[in-house]
Amino acid sequence: MSHEDLARWKKTYYAIPDLRAELEAADAYYFQTPTADGKLFFLVSNWLKREHAKLVKQEKDEREERNRIY
């Protein structure tokens, strides 16, 4: 992974508060569950995409809940 990839991921997946920690979690997972071809870039990109979507939805739901209360 290049510095450019990391910078792009930070911008794209802005909802992930600690991108490095999330990358380490993905790395640990794929270390225990290796791929047949050893290529991880696409898998990690999808990992980040899913986590980002989950966090964005959670934030949206919390915002809607706060608006309902007030």
What percentage of the chain exceeds 70 in pLDDT?
99
Task: Report which of 7, 18, 5, 70 is spatially closest to residue 44, judged by C-alpha positions.
Answer: 5
Place of tokens 């992974």: 1
* Structural domain spans, the chain: 3-69
Cα 54 to chain centroid distance, Å, stands at 9
Tens of pLDDT, residues 19-39: 999 999 999 999 998 888 878
Contacts of 27 (CB under 8 A, 6+ apart): 44
Q: Which two tokens stand for residue 24?
A: 């380490």
The residue length of the chain stands at 70
* pLDDT on residue 16: 97
